[in-house]
Structure formats: structure tokens, C-alpha cells
């Protein structure tokens, strides 16, 4: 069971990084307190993981045949990659990290099958696009409804508060449902865990990361891309949650970071493209490009070192 430790570490890293994608905008605007945000996130992540987490567990199976040690190194490499980006306050893609690790190990062992990769990569491309489209449309529609029905600023502020809490809880549920496969899906592929057990263990490890080390990335997501007001924060969280939930039904684990960045950009497009901080966006984009490459190289390197060590120890 010690091989599960790397998965627990990966889950902790994902929770620490990706919880900012759920309530980061709400906390940054002062609409929701940080402690309230992480409490709701941790609770609904576990609920989502248990309710719908198994839907995405089998998607990564087709990329490579993974041994139990391969699963250990995949999760360790992905976890180290995400943890590094978390320390640097860069929103990272757990989906890209684990896929890069699986492909890296598969290429090293000769078991990689890259033909199913087009579906995963296509979803990566469409995730920020879907987030931007959802947020743009939701902003336009809900703004029009509020302008016609709610005139009081006090009532609007209350609706924003309730809306962010509701959308954030929905986003946390979607994060658990979609991303728990990234954390423990490799153990299902290696026949170390059942999908139900993997969902429970992965969900709890993500929740632990949320509760212990999630504040740092929230500033980047909430303030670093485009200035947000409470209404925009609500739209961003709602759009990101809807994006993740849609891809969960397709059975593909995607990046909540890509979804929320797309949603934030979509809100920026409603107002003025010049309000989008392109330098921050570029830094995040570079992190997305480097994540699968770094995780793949690290996983392959760890497996190769382990193999060499085994040969040295064998007379």
C-alpha cells in the first residue's frame, strides 16, 4: 500500500493548486471569506469524487499499460510537477501532468499507445475555449435579467454572495468528479484500486490539499489576469463549474485551471480586452506547455533510475 503514497501527495498538490480555481475570484473580491471557501471546497470535492469520479477513471487506461511501480512513479512525477508550480503561484493542469507522466513511462517501457491521445488533447484545447464561451454568454444573459428585475444594490450584493457560494459548491463538486481520475486513475489501471476506492482516496487527498495550502495560487487566479467585481467572480466560477461538468459526462479529465482562466478571459472580453493582463496569461500558458513535458521526463527518469538500480542489485 506504500505505492499509494505518491497518489496521496499528487492529490494534495492538486487540491492546493486547483482550489484557487473554484473560489479564488470570490475570495479576491472579498465576497467570500477564505475559510468559508476552503471548507465548502473540501466538502464538495469529496462528494463529487464519490458521486461521479469513476466516470473518468478508464479514459487514461488506453494511453499505456501501467505496472504498480509505474503507477507510483506517474503519480509522484505529476505531484512534484504540480507542487512546484503551486509554490511558484502558477495555476497548473493536473490532467496534463498525469497524461505526460503516463506517456513518458509508456514510451520508456514500449507500451505507450498515442492514438487515443487526440481525444485528450482536443479536450485540453477546447477547455479554455468552453470556459470563455460559457462565461461570456452567462455574463450577457444574467446581467440583462438582473438589470430588468433587481434594482437595489443591497439585494444585488446579497445575490452575488449567494451566487458565488452556490456556484463555488457546484464547481467543487465538478472538480472532484472530473479531476479525481487524474490523482488515482493510474492505480485503477494498475489494478491496485477499484474505481470506488480510488475515488474515495483521491477525493480525501484533494480535500486535504485544499485545507492546508491553497491560499497562494488564489491571488494569481483572482487578481492576476483581469480585475473582477463580485458579479464577474460569480460568472467565472459558474462557467468553470459548467465546463468541468460537461467534460465529466464525456469521460475525460480536464484542467480546472484552463477552464477558469478561459472563464476569466471571457469576462474580460465582455468589458475590454485591454483589461486582461497578458503577461500573467503568458506565464500561465507557459506553465501549461511545460507541465506535460516536465512530468513526462520526470516520470521516465524515475522509472529508468529504478530499473538501473534493480539491475545493479541483481547479481
**Digit-coded pLDDT (tens) for 60-93:** 878 888 889 999 999 999 999 999 988 877 777 8
The pTM for the full model equals: 0.89
Q: Which of 178, 184, 157 is nearest to 246 (CA)?
A: 178
How many structural domains does the chain have? Answer: 1
Specify the DSSP class assigned to residue 192. S
Give the percent of the chain with pLDDT over 90.
53
Question: Which H helix or E strand runs over 186?
Answer: helix 153-189
Tell me how far apart the alpha carbons of residues 301 and 245 are, in angstroms, rounded to a whole number: 34
Q: Which residue has the higher pLDDT, 276 or 2?
A: 2
For helices 153-189 and 68-87, give the axis angle rounded to 10 degrees.
150
The sign of the dihedral angle between the CA atoms of 52, 53, 56, 58 is negative
Enclosing domain of residue 79: 2-313
Question: Which residue reads 451566487 in cell numbers?
Answer: 163
Amino acid at each position: 500500500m506504500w505505492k499509494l503514497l505518491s497518489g496521496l501527495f499528487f492529490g494534495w498538490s492538486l487540491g492546493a493548486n486547483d482550489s484557487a480555481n473554484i473560489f479564488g475570484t470570490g475570495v479576491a473580491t472579498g465576497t467570500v471569506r477564505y475559510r468559508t471557501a476552503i471548507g465548502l471546497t473540501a466538502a464538495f470535492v469529496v462528494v463529487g469524487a464519490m458521486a461521479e469520479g469513476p466516470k473518468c477513471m478508464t479514459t487514461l487506461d488506453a494511453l499505456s499499460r501501467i505496472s504498480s511501480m509505474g503507477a507510483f512513479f506517474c503519480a509522484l512525477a505529476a505531484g512534484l510537477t504540480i507542487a512546484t508550480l503551486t509554490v511558484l503561484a502558477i495555476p497548473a493542469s493536473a490532467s496534463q501532468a498525469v497524461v505526460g507522466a503516463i506517456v513518458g513511462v509508456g514510451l520508456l517501457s514500449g507500451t505507450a499507445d498515442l492514438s487515443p491521445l487526440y481525444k485528450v488533447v482536443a479536450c485540453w484545447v477546447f477547455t479554455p475555449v468552453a470556459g470563455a464561451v460559457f462565461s461570456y454568454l452567462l455574463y450577457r444573459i444574467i446581467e440583462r435579467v438582473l438589470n430588468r428585475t433587481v434594482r437595489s444594490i443591497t439585494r444585488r450584493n446579497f445575490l452575488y454572495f449567494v451566487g458565488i457560494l452556490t456556484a463555488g459548491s457546484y464547481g467543487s463538486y465538478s472538480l472532484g468528479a472530473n479531476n479525481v481520475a487524474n490523482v488515482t486513475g493510474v492505480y485503477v489501471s494498475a489494478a491496485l484500486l477499484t474505481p470506488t476506492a480510488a475515488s474515495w482516496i483521491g477525493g480525501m487527498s484533494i480535500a486535504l490539499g485544499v485545507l492546508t495550502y491553497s491560499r497562494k495560487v488564489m491571488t494569481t487566479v483572482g487578481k492576476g489576469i483581469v480585475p473582477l467585481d463580485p458579479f464577474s467572480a460569480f460568472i467565472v466560477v459558474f462557467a468553470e463549474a459548467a465546463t468541468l461538468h460537461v467534460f465529466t459526462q464525456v469521460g475525460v479529465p480536464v484542467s480546472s485551471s484552463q477552464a477558469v482562466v478561459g472563464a476569466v478571459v471571457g469576462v474580460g472580453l465582455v468589458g475590454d480586452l485591454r483589461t486582461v493582463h497578458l503577461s500573467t496569461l503568458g506565464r500561465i500558458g507557459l506553465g501549461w506547455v511545460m507541465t506535460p513535458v516536465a512530468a513526462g521526463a520526470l516520470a521516465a527518469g524515475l522509472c529508468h533510475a529504478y530499473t538501473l538500480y534493480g539491475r545493479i542489485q541483481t547479481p
